[in-house]
Amino acid sequence: MPRPIRVLVADDSSLLRRLLCDAIREVDGVEVVAEAADGAEAIDGVRAHEPGVVVLDLQMPVMGGLQALQRLRANGLGSHVIVLTNHADAVYRSACLEAGANHFFDKSAGIDRVLEVLRQMTQGEA
């Protein structure tokens, strides 16, 4: 049996973070290993838990998601990064993809897109 895909969820909204983590836990072959309320916590969590996937919000206190993504990639992070944000305009999308995000989704589309990527990853498709 393959190892589960390890996920870190970073979002400053504790409610959204909880909803997202609960939904991710329902996906077979996936486990949430850490949560973060800001970009600095996300970086610490990646170092401590080595997740295969990081779900990252952009607008967070202390350090935003884009800056955290840039630092993680500069430090050689190989994790799959899914940006999930309310700021889904073309400028943010371009900046995130250029910085190394694998996916960029608008929160208004719901978390279904994130869950679909995770399901695909468990099947070796993403």
End-to-end CA distance of the chain: 19
Q: How many domains does the chain have?
A: 1
Q: How confident is the model at residue 126 (pLDDT cuts 50, 70, 90)?
A: low
The pTM of this model reads 0.94
Nearest to 115 by CA among 5, 41, 34, 14: 5
Q: Residue 24 phi/psi, 5° resolution?
A: -65, -40
**What domain range is 70 assigned to?**
5-122
Residue 44 has pLDDT above 70, yes or no: yes
Report the CATH number that the domain containing residue 99 is assigned in CATH: 3.40.50.2300
Cβ-proximal residues to 67 (8 Å cutoff; 6+ apart), any chain:
39
Structure tokens at 48: 């401590």
Q: How confident is the model at residue 109 (pLDDT cuts 50, 70, 90)?
A: confident
